[in-house]
A and B are shown apart, each in its own frame.
Chain A
Amino acid sequence: MSTLTALARVQAVAAGVAQPIATVRHVHLAERPMVVVPLTLAGEANAPLAAMVGADPDAPRLLIVPEPRNRDLRFAFAAELAAALLPYIDAHCGETELVAADRGREVRHRYRDAPQVLVPNTASVSFLRLLGRSTRFRRTDGAHAVHPSVPLLGQWLTFLAERAEYPGSSLLVAMTEALALHWATGQSALEDQNLAALLGWIDPPPGRSGAEAAALAEDPAVWPPAGPLTDPEFDRTRLAPAIAEYQAAADERARRRAYATLEELLRSQLAPTWELMWRGVARLRRLPPGERVANRWAVDRTAFTEYADYVRSGESRPQPRRDGAVAAAQRLDRWERAQASYAAQRAYDDPLVLADYRLTGEAFAGVVTAAQPDRVDDRGKRPVLRPRIEVVTEDWMPLRPGAVVYSPARPRQRATVVSVTPRDGATAVVLELAGGMGRSLTAPPGSVPAVGEWVAYTTLTDEYRPPAAFPAPEETPWTHGGPPVGDELTEQDADEDWS
């Protein structure tokens, strides 16, 4: 939470409606995202109860488990979910493009599009992760055989849930997170986890303030929880009797009737959240995408392509239960690099995000008051073009000479702080520029900021950072448990007990 976001929250209280904390959209939105709203049975580790699924707002598919404590019915649900999700994923394995890989030494193909799954909140992401964990080791033969699509669904859900942890990825997105990235409400971050309340603040119905809409949204009788847990009162008064009726059904007719009752009951709990999801999508679409959103989506598409090819090779194995030491370290390293890059990209794309860094002294902005675009430094062996500009800023300027900064407008140009001088209550900063100006000793027009131009500079950089070096898994040092013993997957994984 930055001071600017905190201030925006306070402003939202006064205004009665959420305030923007981003001026562009920082998540990718697919043309046809797949919305999944899952429900689970309270008290169980991962007992699916129902889900509303689909890529068409007007045609949701309702899947239910009439007795969530029944193992076979759970896997039947998984097969139904697979029937909805896998064709959607496959539909993106079509058109490809060629891209340079390994710094230009290789050419690889990449799918032009990738699937995008939207869920209401982070708890729903966790639910899908667990569902992936519980299905990917199933076997399609033997005593507890499941439909062949079930373990495949498990692999894909695991892939998506892993990507969801990756900063800046948009393959699996929690709506509450996506919205909270762009708006500050007049309530706490804790209360923002309620999707209905959050959207109430962002997009209140006509005639109501955001605060009023959010207060209404907290009543589970008006807005059923967005899941995956259902309202305990609903469980007690409606769901438990309906499940009992299904169990007690004496004949096929009674069972069908009880099933229909359950279906309507669960639809009533899911439909309001389904509406909210698409309202959230529509609200986000009204924001123009940030310039670098497409780059991040390309990273997502690469990850998708690699995994889809792996799955389609027919040689794929379910992801292990836990990373080995080397894999865990690599994952952390990737995560950290993605995190830094994501922060820089958002600041470059969005002046409102950059403002956070201006307040903390990691960025400054102002008007160019002097420029020597053709300044040449000839102290070295060869003369080099090193233009200098002077920027006068009103921002707090703790950076000292020698600091290196970058401008979102010219990300390839390095600017080194030469001097920092207080002037009439503001600060004059002299910067020396290198890079992004071609090879000649004359700067091409526009490559050096001109007098009168408004510029921003920040210490954040999105420069390529090579991955850290790690040993091969079989050379894991003893300090980290030594090389992994044998293959992690066993027959037992498939025969795992299910309560």
Chain B
Amino acid sequence: MYRAGVVNPVRSAQRSETGGCDARGWLARLRGPLPPHRHTARTIAALTRNPGCHRRALLDSAGVDKQRLARQVGFPARVGQSPFAIARSAAFAAQVTADGGAELLRLARERLGLTISEARYVDLRRPDHPLAAAGVEAQAADRAAEAAPLEDAYAATRATISDAVRRGDAGVLLDHPTLRLEVAGQPAYLEPGPLALAAEGRHHVITIKSFAILDGQADPAKVSAAAIESAVYVLALRHLLADIGHDAELVSPEVLLVCPRDFSNQPTAAVLDVRKQLGVLRRQLARMARVEALLASLPPDLTFDLAVDAEGVPTRPPEELAAALRSVAARYTPECLAVCELAYFCRQEAAGTTAALGRSVQEQLGGVESVETVLGLASGRLTPQDEQAEVAALLRAAARLRAEALSAAAPRTEEQSEVRRP
């Protein structure tokens, strides 16, 4: 679905001949000299929304900082969490993991059908972890930080779980584990993760969220976001188990979601089955691993390098960056506004398309892509091509009915308002 003119088959062929296009080198060139932007469970979860978007797949594979890129091209994303929400969520998490996670264990027994009376609580929080103090804002800085301490943290998590399994511990509750997941050939470190519970031969992911479960019900949008995020952790934990030579399937697809009950601070829990989300996630990660196919069709000099100067200020002209972005096809839908940092740029670009009005609008208009074409076909100004005949007839009928109803209503409307005036 690349735009015409972007693909140059001759050039693509040459490139693969020279063999100089190993994906990693290409992705690094696309990103420029900045270190790759690190994935979090949230950004990985976001990959599963709109998987057909090549632009996002490419930028995420290359580890480009989309937030900065969007700002530089003049379409900053409106992201950010209220400090009140951050504080509440941190306070709740701290509260339920207090006392060695006794409360969590109780909930795990209740909901997961475990019988263990106690579990060893191990806190793997890195003492130098910026999140330990500064909240989510520090994440951006952390993501750009070196991978070495993260790899160490992952090793520590792995060792702890490996030990527990070897010794046949009755139960181990791991707080702040660091998990690892390959995204487009790059390791992504997930922390501060949820909790991992190894008990009775099985492994469970425990996700703590601060939205309320009220009278047994919670906001479906938030639950589904939590489910896909939890699936990221389940997948990463499965990789870890495989890594230490155990059966990955020992990680249960049933995740314990812990939330405040009703209007209180008291925790309650629900079990989320994330099997479906795991499937979606695996498919999308597999697609991103095949990013070579995407790269082959790109202009060889393409880069999203912001050309940051000594002070860290991007110097790359916005028009140049915008042109680079436009050379990779996007698949904008209004839902992107909530999940992708580049959405406002893509929305601007999608102006005049029916997709910008929402998927259902486009479907109702028989999949016709441009607003101009819809209006042309509806008015009869545009002669439909063969495959458009059916949709053209529908649009003409719709236009006729709209015009007829509006003109019939015009005199009637006035008459009625006359009658109804007291």
Q: A134-B263, A288-B420, A355-B404 are in contact. Are A42 and B84 (CB under 8 A)?
A: yes
**Contact assessment for B357 and A13 in the assembled complex, using a CB-CB cutoff below 8 Å:** yes
Contact for B357 among A10, A321, A496, CB less than 8 A: A10
**Contact assessment for A45 and B406 in the assembled complex, using a CB-CB cutoff below 8 Å:** no
User: Given the complex, which residues of B lie within 8 Å of A352, measured CB to CB?
Assistant: 402, 405-406, 409
**Contact assessment for B364 and A6 in the assembled complex, using a CB-CB cutoff below 8 Å:** yes
User: Given the complex, which residues of B lie within 8 Å of A13, measured CB to CB?
Assistant: 352, 357, 371
User: Given the complex, which residues of A lie within 8 Å of B412, measured CB to CB?
Assistant: 23
Residue of A nearest to B419 (CB): A288
Interface: B212 (CB within 8 A): yes
User: Given the complex, which residues of B lie within 8 Å of A187, measured CB to CB?
Assistant: 334, 356-357
Q: How far is the CB of B267 from chain A (nearest CB, A)?
A: 11
User: Given the complex, which residues of B lie within 8 Å of A130, measured CB to CB?
Assistant: 214
**Contact assessment for A23 and B401 in the assembled complex, using a CB-CB cutoff below 8 Å:** no
Q: Could you list which residues of chain B lie within 8 angstroms of chain A, going by C-beta atoms?
A: 78, 80-89, 210-212, 214-216, 260, 262-266, 334-335, 337, 352, 354, 356-358, 360-362, 364-365, 371, 374-375, 378, 394-395, 397-402, 404-406, 408-409, 412-413, 416-417, 420
A-B CB contact pairs (8 Å), 6 listed? A7-B398, A13-B352, A232-B80, A232-B85, A235-B83, A497-B266
The DSSP consensus for interface residues of chain B is helix
**Contact assessment for B405 and A355 in the assembled complex, using a CB-CB cutoff below 8 Å:** yes
**Contact assessment for B80 and A233 in the assembled complex, using a CB-CB cutoff below 8 Å:** yes
**Contact assessment for B214 and A133 in the assembled complex, using a CB-CB cutoff below 8 Å:** yes
Beyond A6-B360, A42-B85, A133-B215, list 12 extra A-B contacts (CB 8 Å). Answer: A1-B358, A7-B365, A7-B378, A7-B402, A10-B375, A43-B89, A45-B263, A230-B82, A287-B413, A355-B401, A359-B398, A497-B264
**Contact assessment for A3 and B82 in the assembled complex, using a CB-CB cutoff below 8 Å:** no
Cα distance A6–B368 when bound, in Å? 12
**Contact assessment for B84 and A190 in the assembled complex, using a CB-CB cutoff below 8 Å:** no
What are the 10 A-B residue pairs with the smallest beta carbon separation, nearest first?
Answer: A43-B85, A497-B264, A23-B409, A42-B82, A43-B88, A188-B334, A45-B212, A6-B364, A188-B358, A235-B82
Residue of B nearest to A45 (CB): B212
**Contact assessment for B406 and A499 in the assembled complex, using a CB-CB cutoff below 8 Å:** no
Q: How far is the CB of A173 from chain B (nearest CB, A)?
A: 20
1/0 per residue, CB under 8 A from B, across A25-55: the answer is 0000000000000000111111000000000
Q: A7-B395, A235-B82, A322-B216 are in contact. Are A190 and B358 (CB under 8 A)?
A: yes
Residue of A nearest to B410 (CB): A23
User: Given the complex, which residues of B lie within 8 Å of A358, measured CB to CB?
Assistant: 401
Interface: A2 (CB within 8 A): yes
Cα distance A499–B96 when bound, in Å? 14
Contact for A44 among B88, B399, B409, B413, CB less than 8 A: B88
Q: Which residue among B78, B357, B406 has the maximum number of chain A CB atoms within 10 Å of its CB?
A: B357
Cα distance A394–B396 when bound, in Å? 12
**Contact assessment for B358 and A351 in the assembled complex, using a CB-CB cutoff below 8 Å:** no
Q: A7-B365, A43-B87, A233-B80 are in contact. Are A498 and B371 (CB under 8 A)?
A: no
**Contact assessment for B358 and A289 in the assembled complex, using a CB-CB cutoff below 8 Å:** no
**Contact assessment for A321 and B397 in the assembled complex, using a CB-CB cutoff below 8 Å:** no
**Contact assessment for A396 and B82 in the assembled complex, using a CB-CB cutoff below 8 Å:** no
**Contact assessment for B335 and A288 in the assembled complex, using a CB-CB cutoff below 8 Å:** no
Q: How far is the CB of B79 from chain A (nearest CB, A)?
A: 8
Cα distance A138–B334 when bound, in Å? 42
Cα distance A24–B92 when bound, in Å? 50
Contact for B397 among A45, A396, A498, CB less than 8 A: A396
Q: How far is the CB of B136 from chain A (nearest CB, A)?
A: 11
Q: How far is the CB of B363 from chain A (nearest CB, A)?
A: 8
Cα distance A230–B84 when bound, in Å? 11
User: Given the complex, which residues of B lie within 8 Å of A395, measured CB to CB?
Assistant: 397, 401
